[in-house]
Structure 1
Amino acid sequence: MMCFPDFPYPDDYPNYMHHSKLQEYIRTFAQKKNLLRYIQFETLVSSIKKCPNFLVTGQWEVVSEKDGKEESAIFDAVMICSGHHVYPNLPIDSFPGLQQFQGHYLHSRDYKDPEAFKGKRVLVIGLGNSGSDIAVELSRLAAQVIISSRSGSWVMSRVWNDGYPWDMVYVTRFATFLRNALPSFVSDWLYVKKMNTWFKHENYGLMPLNGPLRKEPVFNDELPSRILCGTVSIKPSVKEFTETSAVFEDGTVFEAIDSIIFATGYGYAYPFLDDSIIKSRNHEVTLFKGIFPPKMEKPTLAVIGLVQSLGAAIPTADLQARWAAKVFAKSCTLPTTSEMMDDIDEKMGKKLKWFGQSQTLQTDYITYMDELCSFIGAKPNIPWLFLTDPQLALEVFFGPCSPYQFRLMGPGKWDGARNAILTQWDRTVKPTRTRAVSEAQRPQHFHNLLKMLSCPLLLLAVWLTFY
C-alpha cells in the first residue's frame, strides 16, 4: 500500500517494515531508475525567488549552499518536496509555568532511545502516533508514564480482519463509496462502531471529544494493553506546571516529573520562499489540490507532500509529481484563478465539516487520488473494467486501493499493474506464512459485503440513499 506504483516491495519484506528496510527500498528504487546522478546531497537551498522576467519565462533563481560555498542557478520550474514534518512545534508559551519547571523537556523529534529515561517519571504531551509509540516504549523502562491529551484519539490496531493489515481492508473504493454515499448520521455511526470494535475507548480515557469527526486515528497495537496493565495512564490537558509537577484540567496532579516529551507535531514552513506564495489569503495555505499556488502568474511551482490523508505518502507524492510534471511540460492546463479559488473554498468547507475547526492538511485519500488521476487521464475506469476484465474490476473496487491502480491506464501506464493487483494478497501473506499449515485464504469480497449489509440500520440507509 505504500510502494511506488510501478515498483512493488520485495515479497519477502514484512508488511510493516523497519525504517532500514524502507531506506533500502528507496535506495534501490533510485538506483534502478537511475536517479542518483540527479541528486545533489548535503546541499541546502537557502533561497527561491522569481527571476526578474518571471512574467515572460516563469523561471526561478535558486540559491544553494554546499561546503560553505554559495551557488545560484536558474530553473524553468520548481517542485518543493520537503513535506510537513520538518520544523518541530514546541508550544512553550501555551503552558503556564513551564519556564520554572526544573526537569528536562524536549520535542519528540529529539527522542532517540528509552535508556536515558530508565526509572524516570515521564509526561508525554500529545496522543498522536509519535506520542503513543514513545509512551509505549518508555513504559517498559520508566517508573511511570502519563500521556496528556487535549482531545483524545481513536486508537486502531495494525492487524485487522483475518489478520490482514488494516489499510488493505479499510482503504477500498467500496468503503469510500459507502462513507460518501450514506447519510452522515449512518456513516458516523458505522465509523464509531468500527473504532470501538477492538475496545471501548471511553473505558480507557481515549474517546475523542468529537467522536464522529474524521480525525486521523492513532495506530498502536500495544497502547490499550499498556493502559490495562497500568504502565501508561491517560490524562486531560495540562492546566499549568510547577517546578516539579503538572496540574491537569481535571484538578489531578502528576508529581515529581523528571522529563516532559512534547509530541506536539510539526509546523510547515518554507523559509527559502516568500510566504505569501503558499499562504496567499489570511495566512492560510491556499493551494489548488494542495499543490499549485492559484494566483501564480505562471504555473511553474508545485508543492509536493503538503497533504495528509488516511493513505500512504509515497503513492500520493508520486501522483502529485506526475501531474506537476505535465503542467510544467504544458501537456496539462490548470483552471482559471477564480475556478481554483472556488475549489479551494469548497474543500475548506468540507474539511470544516469532516475534521472540525483546525488547520488540518487532511483529505480523503481515494477521492483525492482519483481527482489527481483525472487531470492526467489515468483514473481507473471501473465500469469499463467490469465489462472487459471482471476479475480485475472486483479486486480494484472491493479490494485494497493499492498504488498499482493508478498505473493501470493512461499516461504512465505500467504493464505489470494488473498482475501486481491480482497477486497482492499472496505477497502480503508470504512473509507471515513461514510455517504453512494450509492454503492461504484470500478475503472474500462478497462475504464482507453481505456481512455489512446484514445490519438492518445499514440496509435502511442504503435504501434511503438510492430510492
Structure 2
Amino acid sequence: MSPARRIAVIGAGAAGLCAARNILSKPHFTPVVYEGTNHVGGTWFFTEQTGKDEYGIPIHSSMYKNLRTNLPKQVMAFPDFPFNKSLPSFIKHTDVLNYLESYCDEYKLRNHIEFSTLVEKVEPLEPDNRFTKWEVTTYHVSTKQTSRNIFDGVMVCNGHFSVPRVPDIEGMSDFQGRLLHSHEYRSPQDFENRTVVILGAKSSGTDIALDLAPHSTKVVMSHKGSQFKSELPSNVEERPVPLRFTQTGVDFVDGTHIECDVFMFCTGYKYTFPFLGNLVSVDNNRITPLYKHLINIKYPTLSLIGVCCIICPFPQFHCQVNYAISLMDGSAKLLSEEEMLEDEKQDFQARIESGLPPRHAHLMGHRQWDYNNDLADLGGNERITDNVRLLYDLCHRRRTFNLMLYKNDEYDLSGAGNFYKVD
C-alpha cells in the first residue's frame, strides 16, 4: 500500500473545511488543517471584538450582530450537504456557523485541525520541480512553539475578507468624527442618533445602511454607480463619491456637502498571503501566476481556494477543491506551464476587453457558472445543478428592485416550477 499523501490546508473556514472533507474522501490522502483561532467557521464566527485578540493577532471575522445572508440557503449550501429545512431561506450568520460546525462534525474533521496555529511560511523543497514537496512552518499562538512539517500539496483557504482596503481621501486626518471600515462594524446601536456616511454600495455597504437606518439620524450612501432602482428607507440617501473631508463632514464631487459624525469605508478587502513569499504576486488586486484563478502555475500542487469574488461561495469552493485534488491524484490532465500561462493571459485580456478594470481580475458575477462547469468538466467531477444558477439570478433581480423586502422571500428547490413565494 502506498503511503498517504499529506495535504496542508490553511484555514478552517468554509473553504478549508470543504478542502479537508474532500481530501479525506480520496484513498491515500489525508489533510492537516492549520487554523489560527480556536474555532472553525472563519469569517462566519461572530465576535464583538475588533482590532486584535488576546494574543495580539488581528481579528479575522467581519461579521456584525444583525447580519443575514444576502443569498438564500438553497444556493449557499455545499452540493451534498443542505441546510436545515426548518430554517428560512435568508438566514442569520449564526445559522451559517452552525451549518459549518455540523459539516465539520459530520465528516469528522476536527481531528485533522490544529487550532491556534498560524502558518508563517510555505516553501517548496525543490524550487525547480513542479511536483516538489512543501515545507510548512507554523507557530502556535499560546505555546509560542514553532514547527516544520513536510507535505505533498498545499491548499490556501485563508479567505479575503479580513484585511481592509481603505482609499486615501484628501483631508482624512482633519476629520474630527469617527472613521472606520466595515470590518470593525458590529452593532447599529453604536451609531444611535448619528449621521453616517458610507463609502461603497455593494453588498456590505447596502446591508449595513439598512441595518443602521432605524437607529441613525441619517445614512448617506456614497458611491460611483447608478442610482438604486429600489426604494430606500426615508432617512437613507445617495451621493456621489467624496472629494475631500472637512473637519466636520464631507465634500462630494458634485459640489454638495454633508455634516456627519461617522464615515464608514465599505471599500472591500486586500488579498494577502504573507506566508507564501514570492510564490505569488498581488498587484492591483490581481494574483499571479494562477491557472483558473486557482492553481499556482509554477507549482500546481499549491492552490488558492476562494480567490474569486461576486460568487455563490460554498458551491464554488466545492468545484475548486475537487479540481485541485483531481490534479494532485492524477485523474485530471495537467497542462504545461506555458499552456497555463497562456490561459491566464487570455482570461485577463478578455476581462479588460469587456470593460472591467485590472483590479477586477478575479471578479466573476455571471461568469461564475461557466467557470464552475469548466472546473467540474476538467476534473471529471459532477457539475453544480443549474437550478442554483437560476435561483441565484432570480434572487439578484429581486434584490435589485426590492432591497428592503427581498429577504422575506421563501424559496424551494425541491421540485420543478416556481422557485419562490413572497410572504
TM > 0.5 fold call: yes
Aligned to 2:228: 206
Equivalent positions of 1:254-403 (< 5 A) are 254-255=258-259, 257-279=260-282, 284-294=287-297, 296=298, 298-309=299-310, 311-354=311-354, 356-360=356-360, 361-363=362-364, 364-379=367-382, 399-401=387-389
Whether contact under 8 Å (1:54, 1:60) holds in the other structure is: no
Alignment pair present for 1:127 and 2:149: no
Aligned to 2:243: 239
Deviation for aligned residue 1:353: 3.7
The residue type paired with residue 114 of structure 2 is: Q
> How far apart are the structure 2 equivalents of 1:134 and 1:400?
26
Alignment pair present for 1:248 and 2:270: no
* TM-score normalised per structure 2: 0.70
The 1:275–1:85 alpha-carbon spacing in structure 2 relative to 1, beyond 3 Å, is farther
Whether contact under 8 Å (1:103, 1:244) holds in the other structure is: yes
Whether contact under 8 Å (2:327, 2:379) holds in the other structure is: no
Deviation for aligned residue 1:150: 2.4
SS at match of 2:295: coil
Deviation for aligned residue 1:279: 4.7
SS at match of 1:224: coil
Aligned to 2:48: none
> How far apart are the structure 1 equivalents of 2:416 and 2:133?
55
> How far apart are the structure 2 equivalents of 1:282 and 1:14?
35
Query: Which whole-Å deviations, capped at 9, do the CAs of 1:200-239 have from their partners, x for residues lacking one?
Result: xxxxx337xxxxxxxxxxxxxxx6231xx2x011000111
> How far apart are the structure 1 equivalents of 2:171 and 2:338?
47
Among all aligned residue pairs of Structure 1 and Structure 2, give the percentage whose two residues are the same amino acid: 27
Alignment pair present for 1:42 and 2:64: no
The residue type paired with residue 133 of structure 1 is: D
Gaps of 5+ in 2: 1-74, 392-409
Whether contact under 8 Å (1:79, 1:302) holds in the other structure is: yes
Aligned to 1:80: 156
Equivalent of 1:225 in 226, 232, 241? 232
The residue type paired with residue 237 of structure 1 is: V
Whether contact under 8 Å (1:77, 1:300) holds in the other structure is: yes
Greater strand percent: which structure? 2
The residue type paired with residue 228 of structure 2 is: L
Whether contact under 8 Å (1:114, 1:138) holds in the other structure is: yes
Equivalent of 1:118 in 186, 192, 205? 192
Whether contact under 8 Å (1:279, 1:286) holds in the other structure is: no
Aligned to 2:64: none
Whether contact under 8 Å (2:286, 2:358) holds in the other structure is: no
Computed over aligned residues only, the root mean square deviation of the Cα atoms, in angstroms, reads 2.8
The 1:53–1:240 alpha-carbon spacing in structure 2 relative to 1, beyond 3 Å, is closer
SS at match of 2:78: coil
Whether contact under 8 Å (1:278, 1:293) holds in the other structure is: no
> How far apart are the structure 2 equivalents of 1:57 and 1:342?
20
Aligned to 1:216: none
> How far apart are the structure 2 equivalents of 1:401 and 1:300?
30
> How far apart are the structure 2 equivalents of 1:74 and 1:103?
50
Q: Which entry has the higher C-alpha Rg, 1 or 2? A: 1
The 1:273–1:56 alpha-carbon spacing in structure 2 relative to 1, beyond 3 Å, is closer
The 1:6–1:282 alpha-carbon spacing in structure 2 relative to 1, beyond 3 Å, is closer
Whether contact under 8 Å (2:120, 2:137) holds in the other structure is: yes
SS at match of 2:316: helix
> How far apart are the structure 2 equivalents of 1:69 and 1:147?
46
Whether contact under 8 Å (1:121, 1:145) holds in the other structure is: yes
The residue type paired with residue 335 of structure 1 is: L
The 1:29–1:111 alpha-carbon spacing in structure 2 relative to 1, beyond 3 Å, is same
The 1:402–1:275 alpha-carbon spacing in structure 2 relative to 1, beyond 3 Å, is farther
Alignment pair present for 1:143 and 2:143: no
Higher relative contact order (Cα pairs below 8 Å, separated by 6+ residues): 1
Deviation for aligned residue 1:346: 1.7
Query: Which whole-Å deviations, capped at 9, do the CAs of 1:83-105 have from their partners, x for residues lacking one?
Result: 221211122x2x00111111110
Deviation for aligned residue 1:139: 1.4
SS at match of 2:326: helix
> How far apart are the structure 1 equivalents of 2:358 and 2:381?
32
Gaps of 5+ in 1: 153-204, 208-222, 382-395, 404-426, 432-439, 445-467
> How far apart are the structure 1 equivalents of 2:376 and 2:267?
33
> How far apart are the structure 2 equivalents of 1:115 and 1:277?
41
> How far apart are the structure 2 equivalents of 1:27 and 1:377?
29
Whether contact under 8 Å (1:289, 1:344) holds in the other structure is: yes
The 1:280–1:235 alpha-carbon spacing in structure 2 relative to 1, beyond 3 Å, is closer
Alignment pair present for 1:101 and 2:104: no
Q: Where has structure 1 moved over 6 Å in runs of 4 or more? A: 280-283
The residue type paired with residue 265 of structure 1 is: G
Query: Which whole-Å deviations, capped at 9, do the CAs of 1:392-418 have from their partners, x for residues lacking one?
Result: xxxx66x44489xxxxxxxxxxxxxxx
The 1:27–1:244 alpha-carbon spacing in structure 2 relative to 1, beyond 3 Å, is same
